[in-house]
Amino acid sequence: KSGKRGSYCMFERGMDAAMRTRHLVRIELAGAMSRGELELHYQPLFDIASNHITACEALARWRHPERGLIPPNEFIPVAEESGLIIPLGAWVLEKACADAARWPIDAAVAVNLSPLQFRNSSLVDTVAKALAAADLRPDRLQLEITESVLLDDSAGNLATLRALRQLGVRIAMDDFGTGYSSFGYLRSFPFDKIKVDREFVRDLPDSPESLAILRAVVGLGQSLGMTTTVEGVETQDQLSAVRTEGFVEAQGYLLGVPVPNAEMVKILHGHRPV
Distance between CA atoms of residues 161 and 164, nearest Å:
5
Residue 227 CB, shortest distance to Ca ion, in Å, is 14
For the chain, first and last CA: distance in Å?
70
Give bridge partners of residue 16 from the DSSP assignment: none
232, interface contact from Ca ion, ligand C2E, none, CB < 5-8 Å by kind: ligand C2E
Query: For ligand C2E, which residue has the nearest CB?
Result: 252
Q: In residues, how long is the chain?
A: 274
> Pattern of binders to Ca ion over 144-163, x per CB under 5 A?
x-------------------
Sign of the four-CA dihedral 239, 44, 127, 140: negative
Q: How far is the CB of 64 from Ca ion (least distance, A)?
A: 23
User: Which residue in 124, 202, 139 sits closest to 172, CA to CA?
Assistant: 139
CB of 56 to Ca ion, least distance (A): 12
* Amino acid identity, position 33: M
236-271 in b/e form (b: 16+ CB < 10 A) is eebbebbeebbbbbbbbebbbebbebeebbebbeeb
Minimum CB distance to Ca ion smaller for 28 or for 174: 174
- The reply to whether 142 sits near Ca ion by the rule CB under 5 A is no
Q: Does 249 bind Ca ion (CB under 5 A)?
A: no
**Which of the stretches 22-30, 111-119, 150-158, 246-254 binds Ca ion when contact is defined by CB under 5 A?**
111-119
Q: According to CB under 5 A, which residues from 171 to 190 bind Ca ion?
A: 174-175
Residues near 150 by beta carbon (within 8 Å), at least 6 away in sequence: 118, 157, 185, 189
d(CA 210, CA 250): 16
- In the complex, what is the shortest distance from the CB of residue 148 to ligand C2E, in angstroms, rounded to a whole number? 10
Residues 6+ positions from 192 with CB-CB distance below 8 Å: 142, 170, 171, 172, 226, 227
Site for Ca ion in 221-240 (CB under 5 A): 231
Closest distance of CB 43 from ligand C2E, Å: 6
Question: Residue numbers of the site for ligand C2E (CB under 6 A)?
Answer: 43, 58-60, 71-73, 76, 92, 112-114, 144, 174-175, 198, 231-234, 251-253, 258
Nearer to ligand C2E, 9 or 257 (CB): 257
Positions in the binding site for Ca ion (CB under 5 A):
112, 144, 174-175, 197, 231
